[in-house]
Amino acid sequence: MQEIMMASIDNPSNAVEWAMAELINRPDLMAKATEEIDRVVGKDSRLVQESDIGRLNYVKACAREAFRLHPLAPFNAPHVATQDTTVGGYFIPKGSHALLSRYGLGRNPKVWPDPLRFDPERHLENDGGVDEVALVEKELRFISFSTGRRGCVATVLGTCMTTMLLARLLQCFAWTPVGGNKTVDLSEAEDGLSLATPLMALPKTRLARHLYPVV
């Protein structure tokens, strides 16, 4: 249950907060994401639904980039080697505890050019074209939700929650920094995983009035 809670609540909320902070500092990228939403869903027709997720590739690319650059945890859960083995030229004796560095994978310059730059379009670059962007990285170039036989049991739920939350925030509001600031402070907390200062932003409605619930 704890794993489900972390995967479906903590992980998506951390990724969306970072994605929003990065996008507020890059209005050009935010405009591309909102344009995609308006094109797929229709402006002022309805709110984003789960059935739209498959066609919101740019929005999901923004979420993927947040997972890559700003992981929720520094390491994956440890695994124990059941026998002597060699991985990538490294000898791992039986009984050793092996961990994957989420932070190191996502910021590896050998895999990701200019790794500290927030660039959703790196997840759309594919010689064969992109049918559908997935939040799970099966090649383990970064870790969003674990994969494999011991993969996260809440991957589908976490993917849906992440995409829906980010898409609804972008669809319903235009966002700017608060207090007359031109940008959001992207300084990382001491653990390097969360924003040093919780995200504060100013929303402005961008849809027809009837689409907002009356509270």
| Binding annotation for heme | 152
Look at the block and give the residue holding tokens 């994957």: 100
Q: For residue 5, list its beta bridge partners.
A: none
Nearest Cα residue to 7 out of 151, 212, 213, 193:
151
Q: How far apart are CA 175 and CA 19, in angstroms?
A: 12
Amino acid at the residue 42? G
Helix axes 57-69, 27-41, angle to 10 degrees: 140
Residue 51, Cα to own-chain centre: how many angstroms? 19
Instruction: Enumerate the known binding-site residues.
Output: 152
CB 95 within 8 A of CB 87: no
State residue 188 phi and psi, 5-degree precision: -90, 150
